[in-house]
Amino acid sequence: GENVEQHPSTLSVQEGDSAVIKCTYSDSASNYFPWYKQELGKRPQLIIDIRSNVGEKKDQRIAVTLNKTAKHFSLHITETQPEDSAVYFCAAYSGGGADGLTFGKGTHLIIQP
């Protein structure tokens, strides 16, 4: 089955700086890579996703890049703000019926004022 590794587990950045979270996956058949944001005590919510036929996608201050050859994808947040503080999960979908989405362990992003 798919295996997703996510780094770092905790990331602290100054407000206004950029943050980068990286994930690797093992199944070359994976074709869908969503990123979820989970604020304290709340449900995970999709913030951006990318499919295997695209190398980069951007939505305002967030962007995701995908390198299929190296089997890794990254989340980039620019001009970070206090409300960006949360746990971020990457995930990969390989198309297997019982596998569904495989999530990384999450990154706790802390924005320092």
Partner 1 sequence: ETGVTQTPRHLVMGMTNKKSLKCEQHLGHNAMYWYKQSAKKPLELMFVYSLEERVENNSVPSRFSPECPNSSHLFLHLHTLQPEDSALYLCASSQDEGSYEQYFGPGTRLTVT
Residues in the site for partner 1, rule: CB under 8 A?
A: 6, 31-32, 34, 36, 42-46, 49, 51, 89, 91, 93, 95, 97-106
* Minimum distance, C-beta of residue 113 to partner 1, in the bound complex (Å): 27
- Of 82 and 95, nearer to partner 1 (C-beta) is 95
CA 62, 71, 32 angle in degrees (round to 5)? 60
- Of 78 and 99, nearer to partner 1 (C-beta) is 99
- Of 90 and 111, nearer to partner 1 (C-beta) is 90
| Contact partners, residue 82, CB within 8 Å, separation at least 6 | 15, 111, 113
The strand pair at 72-77 and 19-25 is best described as antiparallel
